[in-house]
Amino acid sequence: MSYDGESFSDVRGFDLSGAPDDTRFIIGDLQIGVTYRDQYLLVNYDPQAPQRTGFRGVPTFEPDPGWVLRGRLDRYAAPKSVDFDTVGTDKSTYTSPGVITFTHAGREHTLTPTSSPSGMVVVFADATSGVTTYGACRSLSVPEPDQDGTVVLDFNRALNLPCAFSGMPVCPVAPAGNRLPFAVEAGEKTPHSQQH
């Protein structure tokens, strides 16, 4: 196997306490991912797995400019730690820069985003969750706000998280405040592999 550019065939021990999430060990065509979520999790990545070779894409709603909404990020005085329940373990802790407020159908709603390298991510559920979209949540990348705090929520870009495709990954679940009371008929639907 190999790890971090070094190949070996003897028994090795590794201190992964400071390693990045989803550290990969390579064994031939296989990769073994090591993730820590209150316990170590091992995930097998097999390029010949039937789920991969038989993948038929992801169904989506038709793009609709009506689902491109403007909102406002109200920043906290300092970023806050927020705990989300997860699919697979108890909780995961993220950093949130503030609260996004937006209006849909004449009513005001709020979402708690988490920080990401490219801006923010909102993990949300809505009235389609568990019906036409994956039940736990979907995610939406939100670019950094304008100077006045304006953000664009393009729900056409709502994506399934890895747990929608397999029971192995650990993914956050939309917190209560990110459960929208209306149907967001935009973005990705439930993957074919999960449909009955």
In a domain, 60, yes or no: no
Could you tell me the pTM of the whole model? 0.78
Q: Number of helices and strands (H, E) in the chain?
A: 1, 13
The answer on 72 and 165 residing in a single domain is yes
Same domain, 113 and 149: yes
Shared domain for 118 and 154, answered yes or no, is yes
60-72 CB burial, b ≥16 within 10 A, e <16: ebeeeeebebebb
For residues 94 and 161, state if they share a domain: yes
Question: Hunting for tokens 């005001």 — which residue is that?
Answer: 108
Q: DSSP labels for 88-145?
A: SSSEEEEEEEEEEEEEETTEEEEE--EEETTEEEEEEB-TTBTTTB-SS-EEEEEPPP
Closest among 190, 186, 174, 188 to 104, alpha carbons compared: 186
Q: What is the pLDDT of residue 129?
A: 96
Query: Is the pLDDT assigned to residue 145 strictly greater than 90?
Result: yes
Q: For residue 83, how far is the Cα from the chain centroid?
A: 14
Cβ atoms of 138 and 161 closer than 8 Å: yes
| Residues forming a β-bridge with 69 | 153
Number of domains present in the structure of the chain? 2
Residues 174 and 88 in one domain: yes
30 & 97 share domain? no
Query: Based on the number of CB atoms within 10 Å of its own CB, is 51 exposed (0-12), middle (13-18) or buried (19 or more)?
Result: exposed
Residues 106 and 38 in one domain: no
Is residue 97 situated within a structural domain? yes
Structure confidence by residue, pLDDT tens digits, 151-162: 999 999 999 998
- Quick one: pLDDT at residue 196? 40
Residue 168 has what pLDDT?
A: 63
**Torsion region of 17: left, alpha or beta (phi above 0 gives left; psi -120 to 50 gives alpha):** alpha
d(CA 165, CA 167): 7
> Range of 7's domain?
2-48
Confirm whether 54 is domain-assigned.
no
Q: What is the pLDDT of residues 156-186, one digit of tens each?
A: 999 999 888 876 667 888 999 999 999 999 9
Please give the biggest Cα pair distance in the chain: 64
